[in-house]
Chain A
Amino acid sequence: GAGVSQSPSNKVTEKGKDVELRCDPISGHTALYWYRQSLGQGLEFLIYFQGNSAPDKSGLPSDRFSAERTGGSVSTLTIQRTQQEDSAVYLCASSPRQGVAKNIQYFGAGTRLSVL
């Protein structure tokens, strides 16, 4: 089946604007993760969704960052009032709840965000 799909693949925005990044997980996967990859900080966890449970938002760097997951499938990561330090690649991953692969996270190709 199809892998994790992220859009857009690239996003250029001006400082202070809001951006929305989309993630479409693998069909049937109940867990969804957002990570951020930047040159200085490496790969950082942002937020985790599992089914209908309350999300784990412990990795969000500030209140400008938020995410939602509608219908247990597609997720949107929103960054308000973007800053230059938000420039990074935002990666989404999903995993199934059960089965042999339940411990494995499958990643999308990411969205490269550039804040000018």
Chain B
Amino acid sequence: AQKITQTQPGMFVQEKEAVTLDCTYDTSDPSYGLFWYKQPSSGEMIFLIYQGSYDQQNATEGRYSLNFQKARKSANLVISASQLGDSAMYFCAMRELPSSGAGSYQLTFGKGTKLSVIP
């Protein structure tokens, strides 16, 4: 069974500083994908970044980067130059990527980290 653990219920960061949100995962599947989503108070889940288990390089998307350490089963999100608009809940998620094409590809989510950016 897949499991995602986010150990930081809440985090504070000063505007313009960088922040790291922790995520560890557990799976027996060799092929999987790791995702980060942002959920502001409006409720919509916004996709931020994706990392495949076989990707050689860490994923980056603008100010977001994913620090993928496969041996440690961690997939931390790094947000550089924090902005007030980054204040939101952040969810780490995972899904298996079976080569056979079978399976539902459902996401398993962590419980989230609430990030507050301080001016």
Chain A positions within 8 Å of B, measured between CB atoms, are 31, 33, 35, 42-43, 45, 48, 50, 56, 58-59, 89, 91, 93, 95, 103-110, 112
Chain B positions within 8 Å of A, measured between CB atoms, are 33, 35, 37, 42-47, 50, 52, 91, 93, 95, 97, 104-112
The residues of A that contact B104 with a CB separation of less than 8 Å are: 45, 48, 50, 56, 58
Among A48, A89, A107, contact of B37 (Cβ-Cβ < 8 Å): A107
- A-side interface mostly: strand
Can you report 10 A-B residue pairs in the complex whose CB atoms are below 8 A from each other?
A: A43-B93, A48-B105, A56-B104, A59-B106, A89-B43, A103-B33, A105-B35, A105-B47, A107-B37, A110-B44
Q: Is the CB of B37 within 8 A of A33?
A: no
Q: Is the CB of B106 within 8 A of A33?
A: yes
The residues of A that contact B47 with a CB separation of less than 8 Å are: 104-107
The residues of B that contact A43 with a CB separation of less than 8 Å are: 91, 93, 107, 109
The residues of A that contact B111 with a CB separation of less than 8 Å are: 42
